[in-house]
A and B are shown apart, each in its own frame.
Chain A
Amino acid sequence: MSNKKRKQQVVFWIIRLMTLGVVGVLCWILGFLIVKGAGAISWEFLTGYPSGGMTEGGILPAIAGTLSLVAGSIAVAFPVGVFSGIYTSEYAPNNKIVRLLRIMTNNLAGIPSIVFGLFGMSLFVNTLGFGDSIIAGSLTLGLLVLPLVIRTTEEALNAVPQTFRQASYALGATKVQTIRRVVLPMAFPNIMTGLILSVGRVSGETAPILFTVAAYFLPRLPRSLSDQVMALPYHLYVLATSGTDIEASRPMAYGTALVLILIVLIINVLAGLIRARFTKRMN
C-alpha cells in the first residue's frame, strides 16, 4: 500500500471513530432512558394526572402543556421567521442596516435561554399583562427560535439556483409570483428542516418557560391560552430536584424524560414525512 493510501486509511479511521463516538453516546443516553424509564410508562402514566405528591399517577397535563407550547411557539415563530427570512434574503438591499440586522439575528441565537425567560416575564407577563400563560410562554419560546427559523429560511432561499428565478422573470412573472410559485416551493423542504429543529429546541427548553407559563403542579388540562400549564421539561426538573419524595418519584422522572424524547422524535418523523412527500412531488 502506498504512503498516500495509508494516510487516507488513517484519516478514514479517525472519522469513523469520531462518528462512532457520537452515535455511541447518543445510543447510551437513549438506552439508559429506555432501561430506566420504560417501566414507568403505562396507559395510566400517559393519560393520568399526577397524584400522591407526584410519586404516582401520570403526566397528561405536562404532555398537553408541552404540545400546546410547541404549537403556540411555532405559530409565533414560523410566520414571522419565514417572512423575515424572505425579506432579508429576497427583498432587502445589501446595505449596512441589513448587514447589521443579520449580525443581530445571529447574536440573538447566542443569547442564553434564561435571558429570554426573564425578558418574556418582563414584557409579556408583566408589561403586556398576559400573566403566566400559554400565550406568554409561546411568545417567549417563539422569540427564542426566531433566529433559527430566519437563518434556515434565508439559507433555504439562497440555495435555490438563480437560473430558476431568471426563467420565471423571463416569462413575465413579477417578483412576488416568482417567490411564491418557484422559489418557496423549492426552498420548502429546507425550511421544514428549520421547523423540525425549532420543535426540538422548544419542547426541551426549561428556562424560558420557568417565569412565563410553567406550573409546578396543576393537575388539569389547559382550558384557554391564558392558562398556566405544566410542561415536560419543567416537570422533569421538579421531579428530579424538588418533589415531595425524590427517591419515590425517580421512576416518574425517567418516564417523563423518555416521553419527552419520544414526542420530539414523533414530531420530527412527521415533519420528515411531509418533507419527503414534498421533495418527491418536486422531482
Chain B
Amino acid sequence: MYSIVAEHIDFYYQKFHALKDISLEVEEHTVTAFIGPSGCGKSTFLRIMNRMNDLIDGTSMTGKMFIEGKDIYGRGVDVDQLRSIVGMVFQKPNPFPKSIYENVAYGLRVAGIRDRHLIGERVELSLKSAALWDEVKDKLKKSAFELSGGQQQRLCIARALAVKPGIILMDEPASALDPLSTAKIEDLIFSLKDEYTIVIVTHNMQQASRVSDKTAFFYMGSLVEYGNTRDIFMNPVKEATQNYITGRFG
C-alpha cells in the first residue's frame, strides 16, 4: 500500500519554478531517501507532504498530494490534523525550552489530551522508541537544553513519535551532528521502519545508501531518477545520477 502519492506537482516561490512535474509513490513501512545538490527542491518537496510550505508567503502549487489516500490540498482539509499524521524532524535539533518530559508531551497536550496517566505512558514509550529513555529517565524534569546535540535530536524524534504519526519526514536530521550521534540516528531510523513510513532528505550519500530502501534523486527542480536504493547507487540509469553519486558535482 502507498502511504504517499504525488501527482504532477509543480511548485513556485513567487516566480521561481522550484519543482517541476513531480510524481512519485512511497510505500508503507519503507525508508525513502531524497538526495540531490542544494537548491534542487528535495526539501521543498518534503515540506509539501505536511504542508509546511503554507507558512511561507508567496508560494503556489499545482498537482495533487495524497497522504494515506487523502488529497491533503483538497477542500476541507484540517492542516493541524494532517501534521499530527505526518510528523517532521528538522535539520537542527529544535527542542522547546521546556523540560524533557514536556517536550515529548507537547503534541499530546495541543491535541487536547489531559489524561496524565496516558501522557506519562506515551512519553515513556516514545522516549524508548527513540532510544533515549535510558539516558534521560532520571532527569525528565530537567531542561531539554541540558542534553547533547545528538540527544536533543533523538528527543525531537521522540516528540514526533508521541503523537503517533503514520509518516515521519526528516529534513537532514543528522547534518548538524557528530559521527557517533549520526550513527545512533541511523540505527533509530532503521528500527522505526517497522511501524512508520519514513522519508529522509540527506546530503550524505553514504547515509542514503545505508538507511533507505528507495532513493529519489532530484536535480534543478526535477525528479531525475527514483528506484531501489541499491539500483540507484550501483546501477543508475541517468548520467546526472551517476555524476552526482560519484561526486562529480553537487
Show the binding face of A for B, using Cβ within 8 Å.
94, 161, 163-174, 177, 181-182, 185-186, 282-283
Q: How far is the CA of A282 from the CA of B52 in the complex (A)?
A: 26
| Minimum Cβ distance to chain B for residue A114 (Å) | 42
> Chain A contacts of B92 at CB under 8 A?
163
Give the contact stretch, choosing among B13-21, B63-71, B82-90, B181-189: B82-90
Query: B143 an interface residue at 8 Å Cβ cutoff?
Result: yes
Assuming A166-B55, A283-B145, is B106 touching A171 (CB within 8 A)? yes
Report, as a range, how many residues of chain B touch the other chain.
20 to 34
Give the contact stretch, choosing among B156-164, B200-208, B229-237: B156-164
Show the binding face of B for A, using Cβ within 8 Å.
50, 52, 55, 57, 80-81, 83-84, 87-88, 90, 92, 94-97, 106-107, 109-111, 143, 145, 156, 159-160, 163
> Chain B contacts of A171 at CB under 8 A?
83-84, 87, 106-107, 110, 159-160, 163
Are B160 and A283 closer than 8 Å at their CB atoms? Answer: no
Assuming A164-B96, A283-B145, is B83 touching A170 (CB within 8 A)? yes
Assuming A163-B90, A166-B90, is B110 touching A181 (CB within 8 A)? yes
> Chain A contacts of B96 at CB under 8 A?
164, 167-168, 182
Residue from B57, B84, B94 within 8 A of A172 (CB atoms): B84
Are A164 and B94 closer than 8 Å at their CB atoms? Answer: yes
Assuming A172-B110, A172-B163, A283-B145, is B94 touching A167 (CB within 8 A)? yes
Chain A: which residue is nearest B95 at the CB level? A167
Are B83 and A283 closer than 8 Å at their CB atoms? Answer: no
Residue from B52, B111, B160 within 8 A of A169 (CB atoms): B52
Q: How far is the CA of A222 from the CA of B184 in the complex (A)?
A: 67
Are A172 and B97 closer than 8 Å at their CB atoms? Answer: no
> Chain A contacts of B156 at CB under 8 A?
167
Task: Identify whether the interface residues of A are mostly helix, strand, loop, or mixed.
Answer: helix
> Chain B contacts of A283 at CB under 8 A?
97, 143, 145
Chain B: which residue is nearest A172 at the CB level? B84
Chain A: which residue is nearest B146 at the CB level? A283
Residue from B57, B87, B88, B109 within 8 A of A94 (CB atoms): B57
| Minimum Cβ distance to chain B for residue A272 (Å) | 20
Assuming A163-B90, A166-B94, A182-B96, is B107 touching A172 (CB within 8 A)? yes
| Minimum Cβ distance to chain B for residue A125 (Å) | 45
| Minimum Cβ distance to chain A for residue B23 (Å) | 25
A-B contact pairs, 21 of them (CB 8 A): A163-B92, A164-B96, A164-B97, A166-B88, A166-B90, A167-B95, A167-B156, A169-B52, A170-B90, A171-B84, A171-B110, A171-B159, A171-B160, A171-B163, A172-B81, A172-B107, A172-B163, A173-B110, A174-B80, A186-B97, A282-B143
| Minimum Cβ distance to chain A for residue B98 (Å) | 8
Q: How far is the CA of A143 from the CA of B109 in the complex (A)?
A: 37
Are B160 and A166 closer than 8 Å at their CB atoms? Answer: no
| Minimum Cβ distance to chain B for residue A158 (Å) | 15
> Chain A contacts of B109 at CB under 8 A?
181
Are A167 and B90 closer than 8 Å at their CB atoms? Answer: yes
Chain A: which residue is nearest B144 at the CB level? A283
Are B160 and A170 closer than 8 Å at their CB atoms? Answer: yes
Chain B: which residue is nearest A173 at the CB level? B110
Q: A166-B90, A167-B94 are in contact. List 9 more A-B contacts (CB 8 A).
A: A164-B94, A166-B55, A167-B156, A168-B110, A169-B80, A172-B83, A172-B84, A172-B111, A283-B145
> Chain A contacts of B95 at CB under 8 A?
167
- Ranked nearest first, the 3 interchain pairs of A and B with the lowest CB-CB distance are A172-B84, A171-B107, A170-B88
> Chain A contacts of B106 at CB under 8 A?
168, 171, 173, 181
| Minimum Cβ distance to chain B for residue A192 (Å) | 16
> Chain A contacts of B145 at CB under 8 A?
283
Q: How far is the CA of A79 from the CA of B107 in the complex (A)?
A: 28
Q: How far is the CA of A194 from the CA of B140 in the complex (A)?
A: 33
Chain A: which residue is nearest B162 at the CB level? A171
Are A172 and B80 closer than 8 Å at their CB atoms? Answer: yes
> Chain B contacts of A181 at CB under 8 A?
106, 109-110
| Minimum Cβ distance to chain B for residue A157 (Å) | 15
Residue among A168, A171, A282 with most chain B CB within 10 A: A171
> Chain B contacts of A182 at CB under 8 A?
96
